[in-house]
Structure 1
Amino acid sequence: MHHNNSVMPSSQPSHPVVPSSTATPLLQRAGWVAAPVGFLAYESALHHAAHTPGSEVRALMLGLAPFVLIALAAAWRATWRLPWLLLVTACAVALWVTRIPLAAHFGWTYFLQHFGANTALAAMFGRTLRAGATPLCSEFAAAIHGPLTPDMQRYTQRVTQAWTLFFGATALASLVLFAVAPMPTWSTFANLGTPILIALMFVAEAACRRALLPAAKDTGVLDAVRGYRTVMTERASRAGASR
């Protein structure tokens, strides 16, 4: 009896194929790490430049960088892209040419960043507290947990109020310190104190949630980031569809 010792070809590949979708969580985790690390590095650079004599030009460039990048991004998305890009480029060149006299007032770029960001965040949270609107933190929680219980709805409304007051108070403190305190004092509050206060707010909110809603699923900062991204993506989609 003849036995065929040849090996039949397999229908499956010899090496397992890794689904491309598995790279997505890794990229997301890398982004979650890179974003706060980049933010802290930038804030540290701002603080160091503000405290180093003779670094006024570097401080000015660091302070202007976000404004230039935002303008470039807006110009790139504009309908008339080329004219807007040329305008932004011309403004950037003008800033570079006048950097020496402007460097004497570099603190204003820092202040506009800090005060503007906190004012915008206070407005973003606060406007969702008006009658008939859904509190922003309720939207974040619903994006993570699904439909909310009445207790969770009341709690997330209070959290939205707390964040509104926090960002409003931070903006007010920034204004007062910038007006009456030396630049290094304001920089310490803005670049070092504010990130610490935000971290403490997350810790305090988590402690309050465990005390007031012990049955609620425990969530962390990454869940909050995920909820924020989901809500903002949905809002952008609705805005795009309404155009």
Structure 2
Amino acid sequence: MSSSQLPHSVATSPDATPLLQRAGWIAAPVGFLAYESALHHAAHTPGGQVGALMLGLAPFVLIALAAAWRSAARLPWLLLLAACGAALWLGRLPLAAHFGWTYFLQHFGANAALAAMFGRTLRQGTPLCTEFAAAVHGPLTPEMRHYTRRVTQAWTLFFALTAAVSLVLFALAPMPAWSTFANLGTPVLIAAMFVAEAACRRAVLPAAKHTGVLDAVRGAVRGYRAVMTERASRAGTSH
């Protein structure tokens, strides 16, 4: 059946795309919070070490599967992953005694990588938040460029401090204390950063057009996608 034969409400409904976008904006944070809550619950559940290990490894497995699927040598990589998965399952009991390392590598690694990503653009090229803002709003005023540079510095410091606290707590505190900070505290701190940035923007740039916190998050995601797409396009052209 061609698209012209489909019911008009399905083929050309103007509300379909915005509805899917709104569903995505709801599903993404709900899924993230559900996963973080599951990690926290598993870390506090006696006898649940195997389940906790599998939850902690899930992101690494998904990333590896996605990379293997996109590889030109798809079948060999998938076979290798299958072999690694079988070995992991056979050794799940001794590995489960150290499941906390999978959580730590996720949390520390992600925050350290984000700190490096934001911080690198302060030393060379355009600050990352400036790129995000320009991708969404077009050419920026000098005041906006200065402000977005400061915002990039703030996010760099935030992610670096989060990674440092994660390392200290994982090394010195009980696992439940680290888990509370990593899985429950970090999402709250990120939300607080967006709220604080919105308040600072209104104070520092009173003449600029202001949006709510959710719009700021959407803008950051759109900017990130636009910048990453442009970089991937440039990389493809250079090759």
Does the TM-score normalized on the shorter chain lie above 0.5? Answer: yes
| 1:231-242 mapped onto 2 (5 Å cutoff) | 231-242=227-238
Q: What is the CA–CA distance in structure 2 between the aligned matches of 1:82 and 1:216, rounded to whole Å?
A: 53
Question: Residue in 1 aligned with 2:219?
Answer: 223
For residues 58-92 of structure 1, the C-alpha deviation after alignment (integer angstroms, 9 at most, x for no partner) is 00000000001100111111111111111111111
Q: How far does residue 21 in structure 1 lie from its aligned partner after superposition? A: 6.4
Q: What is the CA–CA distance in structure 1 between the aligned matches of 2:44 and 2:190, rounded to whole Å?
A: 23
Q: What is the CA–CA distance in structure 2 between the aligned matches of 1:87 and 1:115, rounded to whole Å?
A: 27
Q: What is the CA–CA distance in structure 2 between the aligned matches of 1:174 and 1:93, rounded to whole Å?
A: 31
Q: How far does residue 22 in structure 1 lie from its aligned partner after superposition? A: 4.7
Amino acid at match of 2:236: G
Amino acid at match of 2:234: R
- The one of 24, 47, 55 equivalent to 1:62 is 55
Q: Which of structure 1's runs of 4+ aligned residues deviate more than 3 A? A: 15-18
User: What root-mean-square deviation, in Å, do the aligned CA atoms of Structure 1 and Structure 2 show?
Assistant: 1.6
Residue 193 (structure 2) pairs with residue 197 (structure 1): no
- The one of 81, 92, 110 equivalent to 2:74 is 81
TM-score normalised by L of structure 2 = 0.91
Q: How far does residue 20 in structure 1 lie from its aligned partner after superposition? A: 5.9
Q: What is the CA–CA distance in structure 1 between the aligned matches of 2:168 and 2:8, rounded to whole Å?
A: 62
Question: Residue in 2 aligned with 1:52?
Answer: 45
Q: Which runs of 5+ in 2 are unaligned?
A: none
Q: Which runs of 5+ in 1 are unaligned?
A: 1-12
Question: Residue in 1 aligned with 2:131?
Answer: 139
- The one of 177, 195, 199 equivalent to 1:207 is 199
For residue 232 of structure 1, give the secondary structure of its aligned residue in structure 2. Answer: helix
For residues 105-157 of structure 1, the C-alpha deviation after alignment (integer angstroms, 9 at most, x for no partner) is 000000000000001111111111114x1110001111121100000000000
Q: What is the CA–CA distance in structure 1 between the aligned matches of 2:191 and 2:236, rounded to whole Å?
A: 33
Q: How far does residue 97 in structure 1 lie from its aligned partner after superposition? A: 1.0
For residue 207 of structure 2, give the secondary structure of its aligned residue in structure 1. Answer: coil
Q: How far does residue 226 in structure 1 lie from its aligned partner after superposition? A: 1.7
Q: What is the CA–CA distance in structure 1 between the aligned matches of 2:210 and 2:87, rounded to whole Å?
A: 51
Q: Which has the larger displacement, 54-63 or 76-85?
A: 76-85
For residue 88 of structure 1, give the secondary structure of its aligned residue in structure 2. Answer: helix
For residue 47 of structure 2, give the secondary structure of its aligned residue in structure 1. Answer: coil
Q: Of the two, which has the highest radius of gyration?
A: 1
Count of equivalent residues = 229
- The one of 87, 91, 98 equivalent to 1:98 is 91
Quick one: percent identity of the two aligned structures? 79
Q: Which has the larger displacement, 228-237 or 31-40?
A: 228-237
TM-score normalised by L of structure 1 = 0.90
Distance of aligned partners of 1:226 and 1:54 in 2 relative to their CA distance in 1, 3 Å threshold: same
Question: Residue in 2 aligned with 1:28?
Answer: 21
Q: What is the CA–CA distance in structure 2 between the aligned matches of 1:169 and 1:97, rounded to whole Å?
A: 37
